[in-house]
Amino acid sequence: MSNLTLYGYGESVASNMARLALSEKKIKFNYNLVYLESKGDHLRDSYKKLNPKTLIPTLLADNKPIPDSIEIMKYIDKEFPNQGESLFPPDDTEFNKLLDYLFLDDEKELGETFGTTGGGISIPVLARLLCKRSFFSVLWDYLKNHGVNKRKPIFIMVRLLGGPPPGVYKKMMSFLAKHLIYTENYLNHGKQFIYGDSYSAADCCLTALLHRVQEMRFYGVFDGKKLPNLSKYWNNISSRPSYTEAIINYETGEWKPELIGLYGEGPNDHNDLLWTEINKLIEEK
Ligand SMILES: N[C@@H](CCC(=O)N[C@@H](CS)C(=O)NCC(=O)O)C(=O)O
């Protein structure tokens, strides 16, 4: 059996996807916490050697680094075929299309897919964490060390403004509304999981995304009223042991105070806008 170490961060959508997969496959691993915006641990040379894009997660398997959540899922599914859930159906174009839509694709624009929207809706918290560091250390670190060129100006701008650039978060609400409705309709198939009757890598992605929706205090999405399929799906998926094991148990605690600072005990300040967008789409149908 290989010796596995995961490099990840608690409140990270892509790390949650990989940890869910490890949990569903009942695989034990060592864990290395890499602090992102608040400290910039992922931008250090030692981590860049493992993951040249300076993104998390990375799985170290017998000293071989495997960057990217989907690659990690593929690797463990192949290495441990008879353990836990089987995450990938044999070559299936429809499944691959769904996965492309749900995973956090760092080549795509924020909002383009559900996966990248998970990053977009997180910006208010990321901004506050970045603001724990001086503007010049963020500027220097991201310009010099970040491995994805198109992310550099985004993080620097967000640090400068202390929040999302004007209009960007509003735009994220219309993307999020669109993706929630798309997923709600996809689930019209009435099956237990997003790709049918068995749990798959697509569920790892969707669970992490829906958790982020809830974490960012978008209320009413899972109350069963307007999006009944999503609510049913969420109840099912969040009651699996993997949800606690892979997501809740790994929270660093860095996000909670920032969310309270942003929204107190209430909903996201764009919650009403999200619902205006969702209602518009429901009426158009
Ligand atoms: N395609 C990658 C995306 C990974 C990714 O974007 N990770 C985020 C955290 S969820 C990250 O490392 N952000 C830090 C940064 O870009 O500086 C994957 O699925 O693993």
pLDDT tens, position by position, 228-247:
999 999 999 999 999 999 99
Interaxial angle between packed helices 201-215 and 93-102, expressed in degrees from 0 to 180 and rounded to the nearest 10: 20
Measured between alpha carbons, how far is 205 from 21 in angstroms, rounded to an integer?
A: 9
pLDDT at 1 over 80: no
Residue nearest to atom 20 of ligand 1 (CA): 68
Is any ligand 1 atom within 6 A of the Cβ of residue 258? no
pLDDT band with cut points at 50, 70 and 90 for residue 2:
low
Is any ligand 1 atom within 6 A of the Cβ of residue 106? yes
Is any ligand 1 atom within 6 A of the Cβ of residue 99? no
Element (H, E) at 239: none
Report pLDDT for 91: 83
% helix, strand, coil for the chain, step of 5: 55, 5, 35
Report pLDDT for 200: 98
pLDDT at 88 over 80: yes
Is any ligand 1 atom within 6 A of the Cβ of residue 55? yes
Identify which of 38, 76, 104 to mutate to test ligand 1's pocket (most ligand atoms within 8 A of the CB).
104
Report pLDDT for 6: 98
Using a pLDDT cut of 70, give the percent of the chain over it: 99
Residues of the chain with CATH 3.40.30.10: 4-79
Using a pLDDT cut of 90, give the percent of the chain over it: 98
Is the CB of residue 77 less than 8 Å from the CB of residue 188? Answer: no
pTM, two decimals, is 0.98
Element (H, E) at 57: none
pLDDT at 37 over 70: yes
Report pLDDT for 259: 98
Q: Which CATH class is domain 4-79?
A: alpha beta
Residue type (1 letter), 214? Q
246: exposed, middle or buried (Cβ count in 10 Å: 0-12, 13-18, 19+): buried
Is any ligand 1 atom within 6 A of the Cβ of residue 36? yes
The helix/strand/coil state of 53 is coil
Residues of the chain with CATH 1.20.1050: 93-284
Identify which of 56, 75, 251 to mutate to test ligand 1's pocket (most ligand atoms within 8 A of the CB).
56
Q: Could you say which of 1.10.287, 1.10.132, 1.20.1050, 1.25.40 is the CATH number of the domain covering 93-284?
A: 1.20.1050
pLDDT at 281 over 70: yes
**Centroid of ligand 1 to alpha carbon of 213 (angstroms):** 17
Query: Mean of the per-residue pLDDT values for the chain?
Result: 97
Nearest of 156, 17, 76, 36 to residue 47 by alpha carbon: 36
Report pLDDT for 266: 97
